[in-house]
Amino acid sequence: MSERSWKLTLVGSLVLNAFLLGAIGGGAIQWFSTRGETHAAARVQPPTALRFAANELSPERQQQFLDALKRARREGRDFALEGREARHQVLELLAAPQLDRPALDAALARTRAADTALRTHIEQGVADFAATLTPDERAKFAEGLKRRGQWRLPLQQQKAQQQSEQGSEQGKAQEGQAASE
């Protein structure tokens, strides 16, 4: 190799090493600065699917609820397919060069009807299951529905309700202490 090629190789190597050291240093700084912090995406969110509404019930009741949900969803599969097909048709009509408003309205109506029928079928399954519960189990089930599934309260409303319940419990405890004094 000539002297010039050695110099070019040395300069190229130095530039590459500088980039590598910068990348390693930047990665180390980033790692140490976020070490120990929890990211919003990494937080464990409580399950919100309807199938978790019976979590406070006994394992046998939970299994009965899951079976009832599966049966209702299986029986409502035709409604789900109708809704999916109607949504695809809505998308096709919207993408068409000429908007056919009556056909679009009809496809949207079919989508709504299928979705409503499916939801009605699943809600009837939930109501049928609730009819088999004791009053205490039904109260626990209703609490589970408040936190999960399509009947759940918004997160802020759940927090406000928990705080008011805790406040009323503390007030009762203070009244009990005052009465005993």
CATH number at residue 145: 1.20.120
Chain centre to alpha carbon of residue 125: 22
Q: Please check the confidence at residue 178 and state whether its pLDDT lies above 80.
A: no
Listed in order, strand segments (DSSP E) in the chain are: none
Domain residues for the domain of 83 are: 50-152
Domain count, the chain: 1
Q: Is residue 13 part of a domain?
A: no
Indicate if the pLDDT at residue 74 is higher than 80: yes
The tokens for 119 are 């939801």
Q: Which of 19, 51, 27, 12 is nearest to 152 (CA)?
A: 51
Q: Which residue has the higher pLDDT, 17 or 46?
A: 17
In percent, the amount of the chain with pLDDT more than 70 equals 75
Structural domain contains residue 11 = no
Q: Calculate mean pLDDT across residues 114-129.
A: 89
Cα angle 170-179-167, degrees, rounded to a multiple of 5: 10
As a whole number, mean pLDDT of residues 86-109 equals 92
- Distance between the two ends of the chain, CA-based, in angstroms? 99
Task: Indicate the pLDDT class of residue 6, thresholds 50, 70 and 90.
Answer: confident
Q: What pLDDT score was predicted for residue 180?
A: 57
pLDDT score, position 57: 85
Average pLDDT over residues 38-63: 72
Give pLDDT, residue 31. 82
Does 126 map to a domain? Answer: yes
- Report which listed range, 80-84, 147-151, 165-169, is most confident: 80-84
Nearest to 51 by CA among 26, 72, 31, 34: 72
97 within a domain of the structure (yes/no): yes
Per the domain annotation, does 172 fall within a domain?
A: no
Confidence of residue 44 (pLDDT cuts 50, 70, 90): low
Q: What is the pLDDT of residue 90?
A: 92
Rounded CA gap, 6 and 151, in Å? 73
Burial state string for 97-110 with b = 16 or more CB within 10 A and e = fewer than 16: eeeeeeebeebeeb
Answer whether residue 39 is part of any domain.
no
Residue 167, in any domain of the structure: no
Q: Is residue 27 assigned to a domain?
A: no
